[in-house]
Amino acid sequence: MKGQYGNGRQNMDCAMPVMLGDTICLCNSLFNEDCRNELKEINKHEIIIKICEIMGPCPDNLCKAEEIFEKMKYVMANYVIHHEFNSANGISTELLLWLDTKSNPKDMKKLDNFIKKFFK
């Protein structure tokens, strides 16, 4: 079916995220980098507000909620991916390794030093 985009896939890469099987590359979306950064900040703010609501109405809690978010974001994502997310297709090893490095940076530095020591 020909439409305003021509005859098929040739222009689809500009309009849709690149998909490989069940993998989606979010950096190639409809939105430019500035829009993605703005959406990121909006989502971050929404999470911080939810944390703040749990902590109570004190104005200082907003700063504390942001600290909690920054310290816990990778650990919580790691937990959700490992224990809450169930997929018949599995989980990307790249994602798991990335989350492990973000949630346990000290452990990853030790592993990196060990690998460099014995594989040089």
Task: For the chain, give the percent of residues with pLDDT over 90.
Answer: 33
pLDDT score at 22: 59
Instruction: Name the token pair of 4.
Output: 């305003």
Nearest to 9, CA basis, from 31, 1, 28, 29: 1
pTM of the model: 0.64
Task: Measure the CA–CA gap between 19 and 83, rounded to whole angstroms.
Answer: 25
pLDDT score at 56: 93
Judged by DSSP in three states, 3 sits in strand
pLDDT in single tens digits along all 120 residues of the chain: 444 444 444 444 444 444 445 566 766 667 788 998 999 999 999 999 999 999 998 989 999 999 999 999 999 999 999 888 887 778 888 888 888 888 887 776 776 777 777 776
